[in-house]
Amino acid sequence: MPSDQPTSARTSDLAALVVDWGGVLTNNLDESMAEIMAGSGVDMSYFSQILGDWLGPNVEQEAHVNPLHALERGEMLVPHFEEQLAAELARRQGSPVNHVGLLQRMFDAIEHAPQMNALVLRARHMGIATALLSNSWGNDYPRDGWDDMFDVVVISGEVGMRKPDAEIFHHTLSQLGVAPEHSVFVDDIKLNVNAAVSVGMVGIHHTDYDVTAMELDALFDLPLSEHT
């Protein structure tokens, strides 16, 4: 059960847990989003292609080339992004897509993941410093309970930085007052996990709660996966 862990990291030194939001503290969006978007005339295969192009591998493209990066850094308004996304979808799939409220329809597919949220809350109650590090798509986050869960909240659009850029990891760790080698980062996007590891953090690529929980139990040597 390997994590993306630098060999220099020692379990006894780990003091902070940094987690992503969408896909970690929420459900896996692929299936539920596909159902929602089908009602908007969106072919999810083309949508996935566009995200693949905009998320990488050329992650340093300029904002006018890569509107997703601009949206995540808070440099583009949601309606403008929706127009560009709908236009690109229409171009690729050969049928029109209504851009109005397109992102909100995506967000309608998001569901709370209670087990992972409870784990983060337990971690903080056990003395682990906790942070949320999320790339925003201009959405309003359901922040109820965050004051209890997190010491630090970093939203890309609010700080003008985005994952996988190293600066946003350093910013988050600075806010926590924790060195990279003393922290664990959990994300459902492998590119972001690799970026965290490159700055010295321990990385976990989240695909399944049970696997992630067991890895965190082992890393922190605490019963974080204990059921409440």
> What pLDDT digit, counting tens, does each position of 15-71 carry?
999 999 989 999 877 766 776 677 777 878 888 888 778 776 554 444 445 788 888
What CATH number should be reported for the domain holding residue 168? 3.40.50.1000
Domain annotation covers residue 228: no
- Average model confidence (pLDDT) for the chain? 85
pLDDT at position 108 over 60: yes
* Three-class SS state of 208: coil
Q: What is the pLDDT of residues 82-100, one digit of tens each?
A: 888 888 888 888 888 888 8
Which of 91, 107, 123 lies at the terminal end of a domain, its last residue? 107
Residues 147 and 103 in one domain: no
Both structure tokens of 32:
């539920």
Q: Which of 63-77, 169-183, 207-221 has the lowest mean pLDDT?
A: 63-77
Contacts of 136 (CB under 8 A, 6+ apart): 71, 72, 74, 155, 156, 157, 158
Tell me, yes or no, whether 139 and 195 share the same domain: yes
If we measure between CA atoms, which residue out of 90, 110, 89 comes closest to residue 36?
A: 110
Note down the domain range covering 84.
29-107
Per-residue pLDDT, averaged over 158-184, amounts to 96
Q: What are the angstrom distances between the C-alpha of 198 and each of 57, 145, 164, 174, 208?
A: 16, 31, 10, 16, 23
Question: Are both 149 and 97 inside the same structural domain?
Answer: no
Supply angle C-alpha 9, 13, 19, rounded to 5.
Answer: 80
pTM of the model: 0.80
**Phi, psi torsion values for 152, nearest 5 degrees:** -140, 140
